[in-house]
Amino acid sequence: MTRWFSLAMLLLVLGALHAAATSTAQTVVAGNLVSGPHSDASVVAAVPNGAAVTVIERQGGWYHVRTTTGQDGWLPMTSIRYDATSSGAAAPGTDWASLFNSGRSGSGGTTASTGVRGLNTGDIANAKPDPAAVAELEDWAAKPGQAKDFAADVPLTAKPKIGYLAKVKP
Amino acid sequence: MKRRLAAFAIGLLIAAAPLAGAAEIHLDQIFNSIKQAFTPASQDEEIAIGRDAAATLLGASKPIDDAPVQKYVNKVGLWIALQSDRPDLPWHFAVVDSDDIDAFAAPGGYVFLTRGLLLHLHNEAELAGVLGHEISHVVLKHHLNALQKGARMDLAGQAAQVGMEAKGYNSDLDNQLMDKVSSATRTLYSKGLDKDDELDADRMGVVLAARAGYDPYGLLAVLQTLEATDPHSSSMQLLMATHPAPADRIAVLSEAMAAGNFDRFGGQAEAQERFEGVVKGLIAAAKKDKEAPASKK
């Protein structure tokens, strides 16, 4: 009973967060707000460098944004920078890390200092090999046939002919 | 370049040899070890080196105990690796038990990402970008070459030292080489690769994601998330110590993608629902663990 209740609560929280899944950013170059996520879309308005925008969604290399003056349109994704956060929940979408940590801390708070596991340069520099952990990886390994079926579920279509990208001189 | 290094190492030996007394240095042995350090590793050797490196990395952070999540990343990862020039490696993927943000690759097809990084992603296309980057490190043998280079440098220094000390040389240099490779693993993964290796892996990673049918802008989106995360926070310490700044990577990668007309692939799949289902399962399982703690944890 309590399990179903907590599951329902979790789903409610997930839903609420998902609904409010926009985020704030600033433009880092002056440019044009356009009517769709492609370079030949019509210009909606000019946007100066440093303008605050709300990011609604991403599609390919474009963000759907709203300006502080209420104009709606699309900007190339590299023309904005998300506002700094300590949690890293900058991009639009669900803040899974906070959900995970609040579930784990149980205090309902977002600061879960208990049980947080770090991994820093010192941990790597002093690591003791764990060959048994490597052997356990076999249990989870996929076979090519499974990976192909898994791709077909979406479906994901392989495009083997896409060529490698050339290095661009700065 | 390799030849010049070899000549340098051998030069050191020749310079040192007369001091030591030829009889006490097993020159054949040293030359053999040097030869070995300069010969490209076979695929079997690469996999063996990778297994040692993976054991060291998993010694620092264990895989999480969540089979659905682990099997999921293995399917996404293998599907992307199948689009690479090394589809036949024994690819292994795992999410490791850390809340900090990072991902690693080891020679022979080992790819790990932290739970902290997984929970900062928003869809499978972003995961594909991260895994594509790590797979590219393996395909391009970045860590393998760096480990071998480290071993060569140590060997050259050691050979000179052996000569300078003019003492009897009686230990097995081959075994020493093995030890050096294993300690080189800890050094390499706490200091990171060359900056160019990271930028090359970004550029190849988005191609592999695009070939796998994903929206290739997922990696740029992840880098923008990282860019907005406090670089001095503890969750970013390892990543920042071992990688170029996210803003630099974004600038270089976005230019290459624009030059390659990658806008064409912007409408490819994000597979957001499938990703969210898996992550919700991870969160629900962690919550359940907390309510009914396992007997030993």
Q: In what order do the strands lie in the sheet with B110-114?
A: B92-96, B110-114, B103-106
Q: How far apart are CA B216 and CA B218, in angstroms?
A: 5
Chain A residue whose CA is closest to B290:
A104
Contact B263 A93 (CB under 8 A): no
pLDDT at B287: 84
Burial A87-100 (b: 16+ CB within 10 A, else e): bbbbbbbbbbbbbb
The predicted model gives B193-214 an average pLDDT of 98
Contact B74 A142 (CB under 8 A): yes
Q: For residue A70, what are its two tokens?
A: 């209420």
The predicted model gives B67-96 an average pLDDT of 98
Q: Which residues, listed in sequence order, are joined to residue A54 by a DSSP beta bridge? A: A24, A66
**Could you identify the residue written with the tokens 């205090």?**
A107
pLDDT at A6: 60
Confidence of residue B81 (pLDDT cuts 50, 70, 90): very high
- The DSSP-derived string for B194-211 is -HHHHHHHHHHHHHHHHH
pLDDT, chain A, mean: 84
- Preferred mutation among A165, A167, A169 to probe B, highest tally of B CBs within 10 A: A165
Q: Which residue has the higher pLDDT, B275 or B294?
A: B275
Contact A147 B79 (CB under 8 A): yes
pLDDT at A1: 45
- For residue B21, pLDDT beyond 50: no
B286 contacts on A by Cβ (under 8 Å): 100, 103-104
pTM for this entry: 0.84
- For residue B125, pLDDT beyond 60: yes
Residues 153-182 of B with CB under 8 A from A: 182
- The DSSP-derived string for B97-131 is S-SS--EEEETTTEEEEEHHHHTT--SHHHHHHHH
B115 touches chain A (CB under 8 A): yes
Condensed to tens digits (0 to 9), the pLDDT of residues A72-104 reads 999 999 999 999 875 556 778 888 998 898 877
A118 contacts on B by Cβ (under 8 Å): 98-100, 234-235
**Nearest CA-CA distance, residue B76 and chain A, Å:** 7
Q: How far apart are CA A63 and CA A46, in angstroms?
A: 15
Please tell me chain A's helix, strand, coil percentages from 3-state DSSP, rounded to the nearest 5: 30, 20, 45
pLDDT at B111: 98
**Nearest CA-CA distance, residue A103 and chain B, Å:** 5
A65's CB contacts (< 8 A; 6+ apart) are A25, A33, A53, A54, A55, A56, A72, A73, A74, A75, A80
Q: Which residue has the higher pLDDT, B39 or B254?
A: B254
Q: Which residue has the higher pLDDT, B168 or A90?
A: A90
Q: How far apart are CA A84 and CA A88, in angstroms?
A: 8
- For residue B42, pLDDT beyond 70: yes
Query: Is the omega angle on the peptide bond into residue A155 within 30 degrees of 0, that is, cis?
Result: yes
